[in-house]
């Protein structure tokens, strides 16, 4: 494989390297921290072009080589060191979503579980209980948690039953989707994030719009069906059906937690098992 092109660049102030990110007919200049690797490059492509990327396809990142006068596959172990041109290229046809989960590449999203929704949302007490179990599971497994609150001035804060200790971000919002600039920045701080476990209210509004936005940015979304609800069960049902057809994974809290430990010999299995049993 050809050596990396040597480009003289003395403008890496603050440890930032200019990069031209190319995808399809687009080319957008941006920058990344010096030393960024493959995962950081992919996340940047998703941030720039998420609405154009079909996340069920496989892609390869390529680097423009001055020596060869064309793009070459990104060399193994590549670390960004100087100004360059990169492109993201689809390499095979659409693939089914497999839904594998690993603690190291997963983030939990807790959406708008607020006090003023309590009397209006069907089975609100139940989804609070399941939500608290998921938050405890995230703490046990060291999984980052991002929490939003929809217009808290009018709708109140997150319900007291949910312990937000150790969450990565608690953010007020007015937009229905949780995908705000602050949330996207927080995701970039999580190395190798691939999957989002999403729960909260309402299923047909904030959950649905968040799931679609995250999918458009290349992330695999798992909606916890027993931890999300709406005022109307019909709205909830049709939203979950629509999301499943879009390739988003609709699952349950127990399935999520056991998939994350994966093995009864996992050092945290007993804690997760007791959590599921309610002990």
Q: Are residues 214 and 110 in the same domain?
A: yes
Would you put residue 14 in left (φ > 0), alpha (ψ -120 to 50) or beta? left
Structural domain includes residue 257: yes
- Main-chain phi, psi angles of 193, to 5 degrees: -60, 135
Q: Structural domain of residue 232, as residue ranges?
A: 106-277
Q: Are residues 121 and 183 in the same domain?
A: yes
Determine whether 153 is an active site residue.
Answer: no
Residue 180: CATH number of its domain: 3.40.50.850
Residue 43: CATH number of its domain: 3.10.20.90
| 7 pLDDT higher than 70 | no
| 195 pLDDT higher than 90 | yes
Determine whether 206 is an active site residue.
Answer: yes
| 37 pLDDT higher than 70 | yes
Structural domain includes residue 41: yes
Report yes or no: 43 and 193 within 8 Å, Cβ to Cβ: yes
| 243 pLDDT higher than 90 | yes
204 contact partners, CB below 8 Å, separation of at least 6: 230, 232, 235, 236, 238, 239
Q: Are residues 118 and 57 in the same domain?
A: no
Marked catalytic residue, from 22, 84, 110, 206: 206
- 92 DSSP β-pair partners: none
Marked catalytic residue, from 22, 44, 110, 112: 112
Q: Are residues 233 and 111 in the same domain?
A: yes
| 100 pLDDT higher than 60 | yes
Rounded to whole angstroms, the Cα distance separating 177 from 196 reads 14
Q: In 10 A of CB 34, how many CB atoms?
A: 14
| 107 pLDDT higher than 70 | yes
Q: In 10 A of CB 199, how many CB atoms?
A: 26
Q: Which has the minimum average pLDDT: 81-95, 105-119, 161-175, 217-231?
A: 81-95
Q: In 142-252, where does DSSP find H-type helix?
A: 152-155, 181-188, 208-216, 233-245
Structural domain includes residue 27: yes
Residue 147 has what pLDDT?
98
Average pLDDT, the chain: 90
pTM over cut 0.85: no
Residue 1 has what pLDDT?
36
Marked catalytic residue, from 22, 173, 213, 226: 173
Structural domain includes residue 116: yes
Residue 6 has what pLDDT?
36
| 279 pLDDT higher than 70 | no
Determine whether 126 is an active site residue.
Answer: no
Structural domain includes residue 245: yes
Structural domain count, the chain: 2
Of the candidates 21, 14, 7, which has an alpha carbon nearest to the alpha carbon of residue 81? 7
Per-residue model confidence as pLDDT tens digits over 44-90: 998 998 877 776 567 889 999 998 889 999 988 899 999 999 999 88
| The domain boundary residue, chosen from 47, 64, 90 | 90
């Amino acid at each position: 494989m050809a050596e990396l092109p040597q480009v003289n660049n003395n403008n890496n102030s603050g440890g930032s390297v200019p990069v031209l990110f190319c995808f399809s007919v687009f080319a957008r200049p941006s920058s990344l921290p010096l030393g960024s690797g493959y995962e950081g490059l992919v996340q940047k492509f998703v941030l720039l072009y998420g609405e154009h990327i079909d996340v069920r396809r496989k892609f390869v990142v390529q680097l423009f080589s001055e020596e060869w006068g064309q793009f070459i596959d990104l060399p193994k172990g590549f670390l960004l060191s100087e100004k360059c041109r990169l492109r993201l290229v689809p390499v095979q046809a659409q693939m089914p979503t497999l839904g594998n989960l690993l603690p190291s590449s997963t983030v939990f999203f807790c959406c708008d579980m607020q006090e003023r929704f309590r009397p209006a949302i069907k089975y609100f007490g139940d989804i609070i209980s399941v939500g608290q179990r998921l938050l405890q599971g995230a703490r046990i497994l060291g999984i980052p948690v991002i929490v939003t609150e929809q217009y808290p001035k009018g709708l109140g804060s997150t319900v007291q039953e949910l312990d937000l200790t150790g969450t990565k971000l608690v953010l007020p919002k007015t937009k229905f989707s949780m995908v705000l600039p602050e949330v996207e920045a927080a995701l970039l701080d999580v190395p190798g994030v691939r999957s989002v476990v999403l729960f909260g209210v309402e299923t047909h509004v904030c959950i649905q719009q968040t799931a679609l936005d995250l999918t458009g940015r290349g992330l695999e979304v798992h909606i916890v069906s027993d931890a999300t609800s709406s005022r109307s069960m019909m709205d909830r049902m049709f939203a979950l059906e629509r999301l499943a057809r879009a390739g988003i994974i609709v699952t349950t809290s127990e399935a999520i937690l056991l998939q994350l430990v994966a093995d009864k010999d996992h050092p945290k299995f007993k804690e997760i098992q007791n959590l599921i049993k309610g002990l």
